[in-house]
Amino acid sequence: MTTIAVLGNGRVGGNLATALTRAGHQVRVADRAPGAAADASRTARIVINATPGAGSLERLAALREELRGKILVDVSNATVDGPDGLPADLIHPGSSLAEQLQGALPETHVVKTLNTMLFPVMTSPATLTQTPTAFLSGENSQAKQTVLDLLTDLGWREEWITDLGGIRTARATEAAILFVPHVIRSSGITPFAISIAR
């Protein structure tokens, strides 16, 4: 059993918290109440960033002491939304939210994952008709192994998970969010994920 703090109680955070609790982990969800994120992060071994990506860097940089030595699993995408509310551009072109977080939190092990899919797939990958891929980006191999183990608790088979390398590789997976509005407009809001076919 791992102690996990989920920052963000929207659809993504709530979905992850429910699934991880079901898998036997001790999960605490932090909402927007003052001090909630700091309190939850202080007592957790793993912290999941499920806050809206546009404000994640500012929110998490303020938790530098609470996140020291912790694994920060970043599942958010930092985007500028278009008039229809769907992602239209990246906030950090030529970089990524994960890289920005790692730079702001040098003593935290940032691991990017689960950001290339609609949120229901994060905890139910086997429900898709084709095999999805979950990607890992991060500098610390032990932290990535811990996150890989967490993904298997969420129903991901190890062969569905691809370690892309260092945190810089997160800029590739974050750019994949730009597929989302076009897929939704053409096919509707049904669960899907980016997948590597071999």
82: domain CATH number?
3.40.50.720
Three-class secondary structure of residue 169 per DSSP: helix
Query: pLDDT tens digit string along 72-102?
Result: 999 999 999 999 888 999 999 999 999 999 9
User: Using CA atoms, how far apart are residues 82 and 84, in angstroms rounded to an integer?
Assistant: 5
Domain assignment present for 196: no
Number of domains in the chain: 1
User: Using CA atoms, how far apart are residues 169 and 137, in angstroms rounded to an integer?
Assistant: 6
Judge whether residue 16 has pLDDT over 90. yes
Indicate the pTM of the whole model.
0.96
Domain assignment present for 197: no
Query: pLDDT tens digit string along 105-131?
Result: 999 999 999 999 999 999 999 999 999
Query: pLDDT tens digit string along 126-171?
Result: 999 999 999 999 999 999 999 999 999 999 999 999 999 999 999 9
Domain assignment present for 194: no
Share of the chain above pLDDT 70, in %: 100
Residue span of the structural domain in which 81 resides: 3-187
Choose among 3, 8, 4: nearest CA to 119: 8
Domain assignment present for 192: no
Domain assignment present for 195: no
What residue has token string 């999960």?
27
